[in-house]
């Protein structure tokens, strides 16, 4: 039985403070690409293991590095002169009961499919070189993992922690939705010059939000400086359109702040990502599991992408904590904000954290005593749904970046 501590939040909400900072590294950012490819490989391994063996075998492929390439971007279309190189590393079951697992083929297939599906100007076959560096896991961790086959109980393969909070405030929602809007299929269809490498930094100073957007433009779709300037204005308009649907606060936008139009120093790319020309990436350096970087909120340094969805609490507990806090806020009218901290013990059941710290901010007039029992009920219900989280991760429904 978990030790559940329920207390009143003592720290003020970031939304109530005079200053708040939130960041999101978008879909084509080199760090996000590494997260996405590690997660795509984990899903591919899960599906192969299930099809071939009827169960998901041990793996943690959460170590990926993107070594940026070199390019010559010019209006009307440039070229990539040196491909970016992506190294997928980690541990995975390479054989089971005498049958070999085609790890290198799964790396190649999952990565190239993701890149083709998510970039419209990058050619994975010409612009990317993949390296598969997957080795078998340690005997001890594999043994802990396989105990579930005998008992039916998934055991934590690490002593780790996960955190989550709800709800997102105005600035967090704005930053998240702005990047998603710019990287949506609809925007891509009408504005092909916008590349996938988009970073949004949001700063709220009292009731004013300032957004600084770094947006890689694709050279083949822009004829010259005037069209580049016009494209920046279109991005700014799209950002304001998205932000104003979410918040009543005043929003200002600056796009590609480092540009020097007079000297021709512009954020122009061949493929839509800065990874083509020297920017590098790594798993775990970008967004947390909720898709944001939120220094004013509880966060941990765990890289969720690529970890197995069965026993790795560094992944599961961050997602479970989010779901627990969302369910508390959505179902209890007396609670307006919730934080959740979960800690595991290696070798103990995943659904039995050694401690759970739940902190809630109550509406005026509400009492902690009145919400203690329903909070515990929600906690236990959500924690029992680890199998649901596992399946949604395998199906790609849940994003961890």
**CB-CB contact of 165 with 320 (8 Å):** no
Query: Could you report the per-residue pLDDT of 185-224, keeping only the tens digit for each?
Result: 999 999 999 999 999 999 999 999 999 999 999 999 999 9
Query: Could you report the per-residue pLDDT of 12-49, keeping only the tens digit for each?
Result: 999 999 999 999 999 999 999 999 999 999 999 999 99
Q: For the chain, where do the domains classified as CATH 3.30.300.10 start and end? A: 30-151
The two tokens of residue 52 are 């071939």
What confidence score (pLDDT) does residue 184 get? Answer: 97
Could you give the percent of the chain with pLDDT greater than 70? Answer: 99
Strand partners, 131: 87
**CB-CB contact of 126 with 75 (8 Å):** no
What confidence score (pLDDT) does residue 161 get? Answer: 96
What confidence score (pLDDT) does residue 271 get? Answer: 98
Mean pLDDT, all residues of the chain:
96
What confidence score (pLDDT) does residue 1 get? Answer: 53
Query: Could you report the per-residue pLDDT of 291-318, keeping only the tens digit for each?
Result: 999 999 999 999 999 999 999 999 999 9
Could you give the percent of the chain with pLDDT greater than 90? Answer: 93
Look at the block and give the residue holding tokens 């069209």.
227
Query: Could you report the per-residue pLDDT of 115-124, keeping only the tens digit for each?
Result: 999 999 999 9
Q: Which stretch of DSSP H or E encloses residue 95? A: strand 95-96
Q: Residue 376 contacts by C-beta under 8 Å, 6 or more apart in sequence?
A: 4, 6
pLDDT, average across residues 318-331: 98
Q: Which stretch of DSSP H or E encloses residue 386? A: helix 386-394
Confidence grade of residue 321 (pLDDT, cut at 50, 70, 90): very high
pLDDT at 3 over 90: no
pLDDT, average across residues 131-157: 84
Per DSSP, 246 falls in state T
pLDDT, average across residues 251-268: 96
Q: For the chain, where do the domains classified as CATH 3.30.300.280 start and end? A: 3-16+159-168+286-394
Write the CATH number of the domain with boundaries 3-16+159-168+286-394: 3.30.300.280
pLDDT at 139 over 90: no
Phi, psi (deg, nearest 5) at residue 322: -60, -45
| Dihedral angle, C-alpha 182, 185, 186, 189, nearest 10 ° | 100
Q: For the chain, where do the domains classified as CATH 3.30.300.340 start and end? A: 169-280
Instruction: Report the predicted TM-score, pTM, of the whole model to 2 decimal places.
Output: 0.95
Q: Residue 258 contacts by C-beta under 8 Å, 6 or more apart in sequence?
A: 265, 267
pLDDT, average across residues 164-174: 98
What confidence score (pLDDT) does residue 24 get? Answer: 98
179: left (phi over 0), alpha (psi -120 to 50) or beta: alpha
Q: What is the DSSP string of 123-141?
A: -HHHHEEEEEEEEPPPHHH
In whole angstroms, what is the distance from residue 197 CA to residue 200 CA?
10
Query: Could you report the per-residue pLDDT of 342-381, keeping only the tens digit for each?
Result: 999 999 999 999 999 999 999 999 999 999 999 999 999 9
Q: What is the CA radius of gyration of the chain?
A: 22
In whole angstroms, what is the distance from residue 72 CA to residue 219 CA?
10
User: Could you tell me which residue, 125 or 148, shows the higher pLDDT?
Assistant: 125
Q: Residue 359 contacts by C-beta under 8 Å, 6 or more apart in sequence?
A: 6, 7, 8, 9, 10, 338, 339, 340
Confidence grade of residue 151 (pLDDT, cut at 50, 70, 90): confident
In whole angstroms, what is the distance from residue 110 CA to residue 198 CA?
23
Q: Which fold has domain 30-151?
A: GMP Synthetase; Chain A, domain 3 (3.30.300)
Looking at domain 169-280, which of 3.40.50.720, 3.30.300.340, 1.20.1530.20, 3.40.50.10070 is its CATH number?
A: 3.30.300.340
What confidence score (pLDDT) does residue 352 get? Answer: 95
Confidence grade of residue 142 (pLDDT, cut at 50, 70, 90): confident
User: Could you tell me which residue, 147 or 227, shows the higher pLDDT?
Assistant: 227
């Amino acid at each position: 039985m978990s030790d559940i501590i329920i207390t009143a939040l003592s720290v003020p909400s970031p939304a109530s403070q005079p200053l708040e900072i939130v960041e999101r590294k978008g879909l084509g950012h080199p760090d996000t690409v590494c997260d996405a490819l590690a997660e795509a490989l984990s899903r591919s391994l899960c599906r192969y293991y299930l099809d071939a063996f009827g169960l998901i075998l041990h793996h943690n492929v959460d170590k990926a590095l993107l070594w940026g390439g070199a390019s010559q971007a010019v209006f009307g279309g440039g070229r990539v002169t040196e491909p970016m190189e992506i190294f997928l590393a980690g541990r995975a079951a390479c054989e089971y009961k005498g049958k070999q697992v085609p790890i290198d083929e799964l790396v190649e297939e999952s990565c190239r499919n993701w890149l083709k599906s998510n970039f419209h100007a990058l050619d994975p076959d010409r612009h990317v070189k993949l390296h598969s560096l997957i080795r078998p896991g340690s005997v001890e961790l594999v043994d802990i993992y396989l105990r579930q086959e005998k008992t039916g109980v998934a055991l934590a393969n690490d002593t780790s922690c996960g955190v989550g909070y709800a709800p997102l405030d105005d600035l967090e929602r704005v930053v998240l939705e702005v990047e998603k809007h710019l990287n949506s299929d609809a925007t891509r269809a009408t504005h092909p010059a916008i590349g996938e490498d988009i970073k949004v930094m949001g700063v709220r100073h009292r009731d004013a939000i300032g957004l600084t957007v770094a947006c890689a433009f694709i050279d083949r779709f822009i004829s010259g400086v005037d069209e580049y300037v016009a494209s920046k204005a279109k991005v700014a308009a799209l950002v304001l359109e998205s932000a104003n649907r979410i918040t009543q606060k005043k929003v200002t936008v600056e796009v590609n702040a480092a540009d020097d139009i007079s000297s021709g120093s512009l954020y122009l790319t061949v493929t839509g990502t800065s990874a083509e020309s020297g920017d590098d990436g790594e798993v775990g350096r970008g967004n947390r599991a909720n898709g944001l970087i939120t220094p004013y909120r509880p966060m941990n340094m765990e890289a969720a992408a690529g970890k197995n969805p069965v026993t790795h609490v560094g992944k599961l507990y961050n997602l479970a904590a989010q779901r627990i806090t969302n369910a508390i806020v959505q179902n209890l009218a007396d609670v307006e904000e919730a934080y959740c901290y979960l800690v595991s013990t290696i070798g103990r059941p995943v659904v039995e954290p050694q401690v759970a710290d739940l902190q809630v901010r109550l509406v005026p007039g509400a009492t902690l005593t009145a919400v203690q029992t329903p909070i515990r009920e929600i906690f236990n219900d959500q924690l029992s749904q680890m199998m649901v989280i596992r399946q949604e991760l395998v199906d790609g429904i849940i994003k961890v970046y």
